[in-house]
């Protein structure tokens, strides 16, 4: 069974940082374009950052551009999301997803991706 597992969420003060990890088992992440999706309370899911397979081009929603950095370590079958200068409006459940569709078709949108993790909670509050 294909599995994605997110970790690294938690409670952080505004202006702080967190690094999320997305680890895959039973399939190889570097065959897919990996997207980080978040869902805040009462809001629709939003693809906030994506990294493509092969050339590893990165994409960001305007809401996180300049603050978040996505990267992948294919040897560890893991994708990361470094989140800096966190704001209360970044509070959400963060999911990683895998799909062969290109990043530009999913960033900033509510995706219908093939594979999803269970999510990790990020809370930004003083």
* 32 three-state secondary structure: coil
CB atoms under 10 Å from CB of 16, counted, come to 14
pLDDT for the residue numbered 24: 92
pLDDT for the residue numbered 27: 82
Tens-binned pLDDT, residue by residue, of the chain (126 aa)? 778 999 999 999 999 999 999 999 888 888 999 999 999 999 999 999 999 998 999 999 999 999 999 999 989 999 999 999 999 999 999 999 999 999 998 998 999 998 999 999 999 999
pLDDT for the residue numbered 2: 75
pLDDT for the residue numbered 98: 94
CB atoms under 10 Å from CB of 19, counted, come to 14
Cβ(116)–Cβ(60) under 8 Å? no
| b/e 77-88 (16+ beta carbons within 10 angstroms → b) | ebbbbebeebee
């Amino acid at each position: 069974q294909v599995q994605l597992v997110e970790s690294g969420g938690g409670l952080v003060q505004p202006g702080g940082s967190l690094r999320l990890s997305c680890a895959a088992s039973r399939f190889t992440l570097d065959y897919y374009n990996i997207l980080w999706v978040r869902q805040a309370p009462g809001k629709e899911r939003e693809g906030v950052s994506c990294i493509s397979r092969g050339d590893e081009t990165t994409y960001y929603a305007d809401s996180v551009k300049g603050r978040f950095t996505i990267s992948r370590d294919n040897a560890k079958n893991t994708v990361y999301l470094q989140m800096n200068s966190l704001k209360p409006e970044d509070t959400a459940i963060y999911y990683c997803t895998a799909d062969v569709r290109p990043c530009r078709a999913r960033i900033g949108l509510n995706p219908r991706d093939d594979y999803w993790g269970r999510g990790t909670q990020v809370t930004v509050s003083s």
